[in-house]
Structure 1
Amino acid sequence: MKRDRWAVAAGVLVLGVLGALPGCGVEDRTVRDEEPGGPARASECAGRVPGRDLHESLASVSSRAQRHPDVFTGLSVDEGARTADVYRVPSAAFDADVCSAAGKGVTLRLYDTDVNRRDLDALAARVSADMNRWDGTFELREVGVDERGWVHVGVDDPRAARDVLVAEFGGEHLRVVEVGEASAD
């Protein structure tokens, strides 16, 4: 199955904002499955807004998620399955808000995290600001936020980098991995 992931940051341009229609309830089921290396899925909801396709649903869900900066972590999409994985610090108000924005036939899978996107963006900015600081110890090649609740740090030598980066920034929300050199190919 082809899986397209769209990371949605706080500054994403929302294609359109559509309000929830009256009478559009949320069907909630508790689910437990663990994605390797990721947060546990807490629940899912089936969209009920008639006439709202996947892209309209995502625009509305994204817009509503931005109203909850202390809770929202990120969003990824599986277009083929018409689902969106929503990562957030657990919040009943957030869940109700974003679930009421999904169109009929769209499923939102809600995952628990312990950090919001704003804090992850700040951590990524701190790590990026020190890009050349580590020269001679390791080469910092890329830094980015993963919507599942961590900052991805790509380096040439993870063994050398991990302890240094964890000592400087804490290890709770860092994932240090090996990344090859960029090429012009």
Structure 2
Amino acid sequence: MDRRTDRRTRARAGAAAVAMGTVLALGGLQGASAGTRTAEDVSASAEVCVGERPEGSLAGHGAPEDTPLDRTLGYVDKVAYGRHAEVFTGLVVDEDAGTADIYRIPSVAFDSDVCRAAEKGVTLRLHDRDINEADLTALSDRIADDMGRWDGTFDMRQVGLDGTGHVHIGVDDPVTAEPILRKAYGEANATYLRVTHAPQAYLQ
């Protein structure tokens, strides 16, 4: 599977967003819920683009389903991990509604590029962030490497990007874990951490 597509968070209408990228879970690898997006994630749109490009005009960019949303997101993936990689942060998709929330460091060039590409029937909501995906991934990898560090204090069970510009950390005891993790990874990184309860993972 293409790594860019695998990292995209797709949220079905009424369903919780799935953690973006590979979620590391002690006790075995499994998909995990990153929880629902907050009001700030959803409502603080810097710009809303309603697709105007004729349907099918992005043929070749989309996934096998080849819907207007697939084709639009295929193009977004291409530029987000290409010429606009320095500003791209994350992506959450609602396939049923034909919408995508795109998180990025504000960029006129990026916004213009993806908005021009949106096909009819697709809505893109662009949200401001101050960190790109590469730096978030580096922070996530650092935390994942420390998974066993907290044994005896709390149980870290999941680490991954949630698509909205945060590192999702699933633990057994968020009340204990959150202040410890915020202190361990520094004030500059604390704003990007989301610490929530995660159940114990078991191999099926």
After TM superposition, the score normalised by the length of structure 2 is: 0.72
Match of 1:109? 125
Q: Structure 2 residue aligned with 1:65, among 73, 80, 104? A: 80
Matches within 5 A, 1:1-185: 2-3=13-14, 35-38=38-41, 40-52=44-56, 53-66=68-81, 67-170=83-186, 171-184=190-203
Task: Mark the CA change 1:102 to 1:3 in structure 2 (over 3 Å): closer, same or farther.
Answer: farther
Task: Mark the CA change 1:42 to 1:78 in structure 2 (over 3 Å): closer, same or farther.
Answer: same
1:63 aligned partner, one-letter code: K
**Displacement of 1:57:** 1.1
State the superposition RMSD in angstroms. Answer: 2.2
SS of the counterpart of 2:70? helix
Note if contact 2:20-2:162 (Cα within 8 Å) is conserved in structure 1. Answer: no
**Displacement of 1:38:** 2.3
Once the two structures are overlaid, the 10-residue window that deviates more, 36-45 or 148-157, is 36-45
Give the aligned length.
161
Q: Distance in 1 between matches of 2:169 and 2:20?
A: 19
**Displacement of 1:136:** 0.7
Per-residue CA distance 1:160-181 (angstroms, 9 max, x = gap)? 2112211111312101111111
Higher helix share: 2
Structure 2 unmatched ranges of 5 or more? 1-11, 22-36, 57-67
Structure 1 unmatched ranges of 5 or more? 10-33
Note if contact 1:7-1:76 (Cα within 8 Å) is conserved in structure 2. Answer: no
Per-residue CA distance 1:62-108 (angstroms, 9 max, x = gap)? 11222212210111111222111111111111100111211122111
Q: Distance in 1 between matches of 2:18 and 2:178?
A: 27
**Displacement of 1:46:** 1.6
**Displacement of 1:147:** 1.2
Percent same amino acid at aligned positions?
A: 48
Q: Distance in 2 between matches of 1:90 and 1:100?
A: 16
2:133 aligned partner, one-letter code: R
